[in-house]
């Protein structure tokens, strides 16, 4: 399975659950069947570009986020591990780029959640 489908399947499921939507409800909103939503969430299928944009608008995220990309430019993400808002002990340079992206995405997620609580 490619990285785009993998990221999308986890993120779309997470967003659906956070909105307390069933597969049927999300499908109804976008005029697709429950099986289509299920297939997105298990990585069997992928929405059209048009539908991807509608999903990002509905959930208030970027299409880049849905596709697994962090919501900050790469140079900011790379520098933030060493000098920015994320203070990590140890040698960050020993992590793969994918691991760095995962850490940044997790930090971004918690930052957004904290903003919602305030």
The pLDDT assigned to 90 comes to 58
> Is residue 87 scored above 60 in pLDDT?
no
* Residues 69, 37 contacting (CB under 8 angstroms): no
**7: pLDDT confidence band, cut at 50, 70 and 90?**
confident
Quick check: pTM over 0.95?
A: no
Q: Both 80 and 112 in a single domain?
A: yes
pLDDT tens per residue, range 11-44: 999 999 999 999 999 999 999 999 999 999 998 9
Q: Both 8 and 61 in a single domain?
A: yes
Q: How many domains does the chain have?
A: 2
Q: Both 7 and 35 in a single domain?
A: yes
């Amino acid at each position: 399975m490619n990285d785009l489908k993998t990221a999308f399947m986890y993120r779309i499921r997470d967003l659906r659950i956070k909105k307390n939507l069933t597969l049927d409800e999300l499908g109804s909103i976008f005029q697709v069947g429950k099986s289509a939503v299920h297939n997105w969430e298990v990585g069997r299928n992928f929405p059209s570009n048009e539908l991807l944009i509608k999903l990002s608008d509905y959930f208030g995220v970027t299409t880049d986020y849905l596709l697994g990309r962090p919501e900050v430019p790469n140079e900011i993400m790379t520098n933030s591990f060493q000098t920015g808002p994320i203070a990590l002990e140890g040698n960050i340079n020993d992590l793969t780029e994918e691991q760095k992206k995962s850490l940044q995405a997790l930090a971004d997620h918690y930052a957004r959640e904290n903003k919602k609580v305030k």
